[in-house]
Amino acid sequence: MMDLLAPRDPREKRKGFYVLLDQRIGGLPQNDGAGRHPIYLDGDRLTALAGLSGGIREEGILSLLTTAEGFKRLVHSVGVSAVSDDPSLTVGFSLIFYGPDGPQGGGCVRRAVPADGGEQLIVLGEEDLPDTDRVPGQFLFELPTDADVAAVTVKLYVNDGYDVPETDPDGPVDTESEAYRAMIARSFLSGGNNSRVKRFFEKVRAGKPACVAFLGGSITQGAGAVPTQEMCYAKKAFDALCRLTGAGEGQVTYIKAGVGGTPSQLGLIRYDRDIGRDGTAAPDLVVLEFAVNDGSDETQGVCYESLVRRILAQPNAPALVLLFSVFVNDWNLKSRLAPIGWRYELPMVDVLEAVSPQFGLPRGEGLVITKRQYFYDVYHPANLGHQVMADSLTYLFERLDRQQPMEERPGEVPVLYGADWQEVRLLDRRDALPGARIDPGSFTLRDTDLQSVPLDEDRFNTPQFPHNWQKGPGSAPFVLELECSGLQLVFKDSGDPRFGTALVRWDGGEGRLLDARKAGWTHCHATVLFREEAVRPHRVEISMAEGFEDRTFTILGFGVTR
């Protein structure tokens, strides 16, 4: 007879829900050649994954996932599996909790997971996890090289007393179907004035060398695509454009300059370096993707419009296409940014309009692709999502190609929001500006632990703003004296507890406090210090704020208008 009072086997299968399901990982360039692929869980990321992959809607369950205490109360065990074309591959898996100081000071559970599809079970009650854990921080997957790829699944099995729904598998997406083509057609927001795009087509078809550039945030960087450089929307759209125009091998140069977590405010400052390549490149066509990053644009569209005008005013008169991507909550900034596109008669693609209306439809009644298939996480598209974005751009180009050429609109276009920062220029250790005088004071170090991204088709990362000033020993302030009408400061965000808050004063005012640890990760942060109508002399001083004298701070550069 069964002993009803016997304790339950801790490895007995329980109810559970997916937070990752056949998620592609790897193929992310690393400078040391290793393969590391983090999936971040803090903030609302884990709850979004639970809803996206596990179908969790119950607020009580979701709220438990936002803290380490709640996670441990809800989750009995974590099941991890991996599949690869090379079954001998082993994937390292870490469940990392963040402590009071962020990534530092939290608990960590590690397992080696053979890529043979078998599930490795981590029973939380058997792990030595500290009471100082604050929030679930990340899943970190590690592969032997940065060229290795695998598909991973993570399932959270719940303790007794909690009920979670079963997850229905998704059917395949038919990218050749009429329904898929109709979905892609909905992304066509505006054809604008086609004159510059048609001129690009003519140039390539005449056999002349040309250049196509993509500028944006982490989606343009390739986040969520695996392998990143091959499967990102930018490379897929570029390849399709080359096929459409019949470009010869190597005829068209490809520039990809996406930097995660950055808005058009920073894209404007880095345009000359990352797109113009310090005067060595002049793109004939630029795709601009900041529709999910510009929520943090403190200028509320002025920097975006300034960037649009900056591109259109380039001496070679490039074509410009505005691309609006989408977050998992069916949101983007089309309402703010599309009026700029209409004002300047630009071609525009809105991926939200393509995919979001069909997400809520039943299968067989209009559903083409589910959110679980489209999104890699709460912010980034998976491979299928990147394919949808590329196909949407391709549809735009094909449609414009069939149109009759238009005459380019003559004369200056009046601004919509403003163009205060159109002529902003980068000032850093390498690129000085005439008349600018710098006394670095105690900011004598050069920070090398920087946000780094793979540009173009590179298999290595390029650090952003390497010509910087980092606070070293001493207390002397950094002093900048120059004549300008506007000034932005670019500084480094960091989760490192050695970093602290700086005090920035200009022209003898009270100044501002800037917390380098607020974002919690290594990241480039641009902020407006001042913008005036007239050019006049200014003096800027930067020092560590009171209580942070023993910390450090990195000035990445300045954006200057004159």
Tens of pLDDT, residue by residue, the chain (562 residues): 334 334 445 556 789 999 999 999 987 888 788 889 999 999 899 999 999 999 999 999 999 999 999 999 999 999 999 999 988 999 999 999 999 877 777 899 999 999 999 999 999 999 999 989 999 999 999 999 988 999 999 999 999 999 999 887 788 999 999 999 999 999 999 999 999 999 999 999 999 999 999 999 999 999 999 999 999 999 999 999 999 999 999 999 999 999 999 999 999 999 999 999 999 999 999 999 999 999 989 999 999 999 999 999 999 999 999 999 999 999 999 999 999 999 999 999 999 999 999 998 988 899 999 999 999 988 999 999 999 999 999 999 999 999 999 999 888 999 999 999 999 999 999 999 999 999 999 999 999 999 999 999 998 999 999 999 999 999 999 999 999 999 999 999 998 999 999 999 999 999 999 999 999 889 999 999 999 999 999 999 999 999 999 999 999 999 999 9
**Residues β-bridged to residue 489:** 527, 558
Side chain identity at residue 26, one-letter code: G
- Distance, in Å, from the CA atom of 515 to the CA atom of 397, rounded to the nearest integer, reads 44
**Residues β-bridged to residue 502:** 514, 544
3-state secondary structure of 332: coil
- Distance, in Å, from the CA atom of 322 to the CA atom of 393, rounded to the nearest integer, reads 10
CB 138 within 8 A of CB 39: yes
b/e per residue, 466-488, with b = 16+ CB within 10 A? bebbbbeeeebbbbbebebbbbb
- Distance, in Å, from the CA atom of 51 to the CA atom of 72, rounded to the nearest integer, reads 19
- Nearest CA to 56 out of 75, 39, 42, 82 is that of 75
Side chain identity at residue 94, one-letter code: S
281 burial via Cβ count (<10 Å: 0-12, 13-18, 19+): middle
- Distance, in Å, from the CA atom of 226 to the CA atom of 419, rounded to the nearest integer, reads 37
Tell me which residue has tokens 């087509």. Answer: 201
Q: Provide the pLDDT for residue 166.
A: 84
DSSP 93-133: EEEEEEBTBBTBT--EEEEEEESBSPPEEEEGGGS---TT-
- Distance, in Å, from the CA atom of 225 to the CA atom of 516, rounded to the nearest integer, reads 29
Domains of the chain: 16-158 (2.60.120), 178-402 (3.40.50.1110), 425-561 (2.60.120.260)
- Nearest CA to 177 out of 169, 166, 185 is that of 185
- Distance, in Å, from the CA atom of 467 to the CA atom of 557, rounded to the nearest integer, reads 8
Mean pLDDT, rounded, of the chain: 94
